[in-house]
Amino acid sequence: MNINWYPGHMKKTKESIRKSLTLVDLVYEVVDARVPRSSRNPEVDNILGDKPRLIIMNKSDLSNESDNKIWQSYFEEMGISSIIVDSITNRGIDNIINVSYKLIEEKIQRLKSKGIKNRPIRAMIIGVPNVGKSTLINSLSKRKGAKVGNRPGVTKANQWIKIKGNLELLDTPGILWPKFEDEDIGLNLAFTGAIKDELLDVETLAIKLVEKLNKISTSFIERRYNIDVGNKSSYELINDIGKKRGCVIKGGEIDFTKTSNLILDEYRKGLIGKITLELPNDKEWGYKIDSDRE
């Protein structure tokens, strides 16, 4: 499936991110903890230059805990600080400010020596669509100042939000890039909801998701839908799931589209399990035996 979504407003946002860089002390690069590589925009390194940066691994309530740690060490090896958070329950959110102060300590000292004290930290939040940037801002500010929504493309323009505790945040619309390096990246972004559903062929997407999950462990599908994976193809499995869930059309035939949507929706909500879909190169899945894979 050829997935691509790079409308004009994303190009404009990219330009405005570049321009706004001079206004901020550091950048929060929000990634989806289920797909920490695929949800990193490869253009970001180039755009940010040497601006201090913190990777925020959001939606950690939906990913595997030991895989989160694997990713965190990987980023550390690359010399980038990261924080594991969940903006719904506020896990890890309080660490963000402390780590931010550490990352820009030198600058704060420099300002102090010039007599400028208590200047708020200014940070820009960037990331792919629907990764939870606006929710994260609301979680930090304990208010609902930024509009959020369960679909990509909710934030339409840059918006400053002031946070108690001396922080000012610039919310930005989610952006992707013109061409994904390989099919897996587009799929991972689609599985996790970063791509507009209207652009996707949900049936193919569900087949690919079932394939991917089974590659990690067949126990996810087996447990959630109480079926035996055996040697069945993903197409057969989706039919079995449709039967179990009563997704049938007239004549008793399985409603493949409805079943596909159901599986995607259940994965996105974490109902199939807390499942990280990719790991850094040469690493093994944090969960090694089936019983660990919840």
Ligand X SMILES: Nc1nc2c(ncn2[C@@H]2O[C@H](COP(=O)(O)OP(=O)(O)OP(=O)(O)O)[C@@H](O)[C@H]2O)c(=O)[nH]1
Which chain residues interact with Mg ion by CB under 5 A? 133-134, 154-155
188: tokens are 């991972």
Cα gap 72→80, rounded to integer Å = 9
Judged by CB under 6 A, the chain residues 154 through 213 that form the site for ligand X are 154-155, 173-174
Q: How many CB atoms lie within 10 A of CB 6?
A: 14
Class of residue 132 by CB neighbours under 10 A (exposed 0-12, middle 13-18, buried 19+): buried
Class of residue 7 by CB neighbours under 10 A (exposed 0-12, middle 13-18, buried 19+): exposed
- CA 79, 82, 85: angle at the middle one, nearest 5? 170
Query: Does the footprint of ligand X cover residue 64 (CB under 6 A)?
Result: no
Class of residue 200 by CB neighbours under 10 A (exposed 0-12, middle 13-18, buried 19+): buried
Judged by CB under 6 A, the chain residues 134 through 153 that form the site for ligand X are 134-135, 148-150, 152-153
Query: Does the footprint of ligand X cover residue 36 (CB under 6 A)?
Result: no
- Smallest separation (angstroms) from Mg ion to the CB of 183: 27
Residue 129: contacted member of Mg ion, ligand X, none (CB under 5 to 8 Å, by partner type): ligand X
- Smallest separation (angstroms) from ligand X to the CB of 35: 14
Cα gap 211→182, rounded to integer Å = 17
Among 13, 63, 82, 87, binds ligand X (CB under 6 A): 87
Q: How many CB atoms lie within 10 A of CB 183?
A: 12
Q: Which stretch binds ligand X (CB under 6 A): 80-88, 179-187, 198-206, 278-286?
A: 80-88
Which residue type does 267 have?
Answer: Y
**Shorter beta-carbon distance to Mg ion: residue 134 or 218:** 134
Residue 273: contacted member of Mg ion, ligand X, none (CB under 5 to 8 Å, by partner type): none
Residue 87: contacted member of ligand X, Mg ion, none (CB under 5 to 8 Å, by partner type): ligand X
Query: Does the footprint of ligand X cover residue 62 (CB under 6 A)?
Result: yes
Q: How many CB atoms lie within 10 A of CB 102?
A: 11
Query: Does the footprint of ligand X cover residue 132 (CB under 6 A)?
Result: yes
For tokens 């507009």, the residue is 196
Query: Does the footprint of ligand X cover residue 59 (CB under 6 A)?
Result: yes
- Smallest separation (angstroms) from Mg ion to the CB of 23: 19
The residue at minimum Cβ distance from ligand X is 174
Residues that bind ligand X (CB under 6 A): 58-59, 61-62, 86-88, 127, 129-135, 148-150, 152-155, 173-174
